[in-house]
Amino acid sequence: MIPKQYQSIFVFLREEIQKSGDVQGYEWIYFKKDAEKLIVQGHMQDLHEQMLEFYEDYLWKRVESDAAWDFIDFVAQRDDYFGAWATGRVDLMELVECWIDKGQSRKMLALLRQMGLTGYDADWENLRTLLDEKLRRMEVDGTRNGMKETGYFYCLLHAFTMIMLSAHTKEGKAKLLEQFDGNWGFLRYMYSVMTRVIIGFKFANFASLTNCLTNDKELEPFFHFYHSVLKERFNELCAKGTKKEKLEKAFQKLEQCMKQTTPSDELNELCEVLFPEDFKEMLNRHRLPSYQELEKVTASAAVTIKELEEKVGQMAQQYTELLEESVTIEQIEAELEKLPTSLSMPIWMQLNILLAGNKAWLNKMLSIRDKILAKQQEEMQMNMNITAQPGSYVNGMVQQQTNNGIATNRQIAAL
């Protein structure tokens, strides 16, 4: 039982939550000291039980008073029973997605670390599968909110999940969680290159990201980790818009810094846990192309009907392979709806051949076709009403074919 002289802590905490600003700042300093005294005196479990009424709103950031939330966080980060309490009550994917719009990633990181250290348990295999898909699709789906972007939080949760999923002992996981917490500033560089999406930085390209890293002297002992993945991903990153000459220059600067620094093996174990070979292979699999990528391909001045036919065949094969993994018919349908019908119809025809034995496809194929045909009618009407400027991308390939001297009445052959 909590001694009487400390009971006022929880009375004031309730009042602060109900009416923000009632408790003075200096009083919170004393309350934190009292909480630490309770722990030292062996009242950790009693303190935990007193805090249970506050933890739910604390986790989901529903406490409006910053002072009250900060005090609850202060206790939670010292609560030996916190993670075990959260097990079964808190879905980490939902929690992280709730925090994406709230930002404050360092607080989210501290929450995850404390959960891991104090016994939180989950279906880690299933969570990893969900996160792998999130990270694999980031190139297509994009991110939002700048520094508070979705990818930043998904990568945080991915790192935490990989540690908890590892075969290490409780003590070994505790060590990795401490390293994860202390080295996230570096790990976000690694995740950016691995996923081919810059997370946690406001840089427009990977040359700028690399230059930022090389300017951080404290991270020099770990440059060899980044160098390894950057070298492997170099051509892919250039294909994503980073100018090759700029990235080459940044890469050379990185190598020059490495020659002047003794590499540290401190993060060897952590990086092996976070970035195993199957994770790399997963990120290298075929992915759904973004609309911008498709538009770039079809609007190219050098495009030919033959090249479009090849692209149609490749995309149909990609969709088929993805359907065998975790992508649904509904997701394929949504992707087809984004495309101009000059692409979606021939892809639909290809899928009919490739998925002839797929019951889910057979159940949806006619409704998907009808949607494409309806969109085709809309595009034809739009083309009749719009006079496009030379070189513009209108109604799929119609205007571009005219600009290239390709007869617009020639159909893309069904493959």
Tens of pLDDT, residue by residue, the chain (415 residues): 888 889 999 999 999 998 877 677 778 899 999 999 999 999 999 999 999 999 999 999 999 899 999 999 999 999 999 999 999 999 999 999 888 878 788 899 999 999 999 999 999 999 999 998 888 877 666 665 444 468 889 999 999 999 999 999 999 999 999 999 999 999 999 999 988 888 888 888 899 999 999 999 999 999 999 999 999 888 888 876 788 899 999 999 999 999 988 999 999 999 999 998 878 777 765 444 544 555 555 555 444 556 667 777 777 887 887 777 667 788 888 888 878 787 888 888 888 888 888 888 888 889 999 998 888 888 777 655 543 333 332 233 233 333 333 333 333 233 2
Rounded to the nearest angstrom, the gap between the alpha carbon of residue 192 and the centroid of all alpha carbons in its chain is 10
pLDDT by residue (tens digit) across 366-399? 999 999 888 888 877 765 554 333 333 223 323 3
How many whole angstroms separate alpha carbon 96 and alpha carbon 101?
9
The answer to whether the beta carbons of residues 17 and 65 sit under 8 Å apart is yes
As given in the structure block, the two tokens for residue 270 are 């952590």
Parse the chain into domains and list their residue ranges. Answer: 1-80, 291-403
How many whole angstroms separate alpha carbon 214 and alpha carbon 181?
21
How many whole angstroms separate alpha carbon 140 and alpha carbon 322?
14
pLDDT by residue (tens digit) across 271-290? 999 998 878 777 765 444 54
What is the reported pTM? Answer: 0.69
H-state helical runs in 101-165: 105-117, 124-136, 138-141, 150-165
Name, in order, each residue with C-beta under 8 angstroms of 204's C-beta and a sequence gap of 6 or more: 241
The answer to whether the beta carbons of residues 397 and 384 sit under 8 Å apart is no
User: Measured between alpha carbons, how far is residue 64 from residues 29, 53, 54, 70, 172 in Å?
Assistant: 19, 15, 12, 11, 37
